[in-house]
Structure 1
């Protein structure tokens, strides 16, 4: 019996050691950290998975503690999500925030998660988006679909500020097809072209002005020479 207990202790220590090696900055003992091999045969890459579900967390962890691809923070008591809660986790692909107690969702919390493929945010009483202005592009498609599937009420004061063809429109009334990123690029290109054209016109005006000044100066010199001869 004592041998079995000893084996269990050794296994626990080994698991803890491996977890610390995969996530050396993870200071929450109740969270579990494990390494997962990538399924892609073209490259051998280790992905780190952090699970902190049902451990009564009151806040999200510091992003520097989570160097990973998958984070599970479900079934906790997290009451606040800040814009910088997940800043720096550019490789994060899966995020589970379900069954927490926050009621306000700030749209900017997912802005920097460029690799995010799945965000589970069900089971909490969100009633308000902490924003009044949005950049309405393809990166907000998930928000529109998720809000409708969860019967979430978005206030009429939450409007788009960009792109210009959506400026002032209520986000809740948009269609999925309207949230496009190619329009943003086209508009940005158009604005760059306008700036280039305006700059070119200014240069032309400056050049024309300089030529007029040179002609005026030459005319004045001719008049002076004529007066001297006279």
Structure 2
């Protein structure tokens, strides 16, 4: 069995299926970092409360999921802060202290020419950096990802591509999992490696492959991947607007 440790991150919550996803993760003893999209949070607030009450950590994935390289810095801040207010409220509704304030850019697009302005904003406002100090891939540091406050990933299942007519199937997901020379990201099952894994909570994928998340995660567990609880390097909470 391989010795691989991974933090599971899940984008685009919430959906109608989020509670079942949370139940599955709880059964497997996995604490995930779930990134909430604000307009979906507004549609399914109780499902986000459910995730929080079952020990998941919920972070900010913007309000409407724009590409931050294609909008102004000012509009990007509005996207972030509108969702921050929703997240503060949902943590209050859940009766859970909001200890961490992580952010993930939609599409992993870090704002284009405004990237450094966003990183300074995250630092100034007390956003939380996921502890990535055990990631040893040279490209992680070469691209400054070890310094960025926002949360990227080292491996993407890419299961969101499973759509009618796309030609992308679970076989392609398994190929990515076992790829020893991926075009981007890290070799997932490399002995002794540490990862931040990206998965999505999408009803469209579920319609194509029922229980897709169970299939993928169980496969990783069977191949020696140990999911570890997310920890953070920076976590001072500063109220939005200060």
> Greater Rg, structure 1 or structure 2?
1
The alignment's TM-score, normalised by the length of structure 1, stands at: 0.25
Larger RCO, structures 1/2 (Cα 8 Å, 6+ apart) = 2
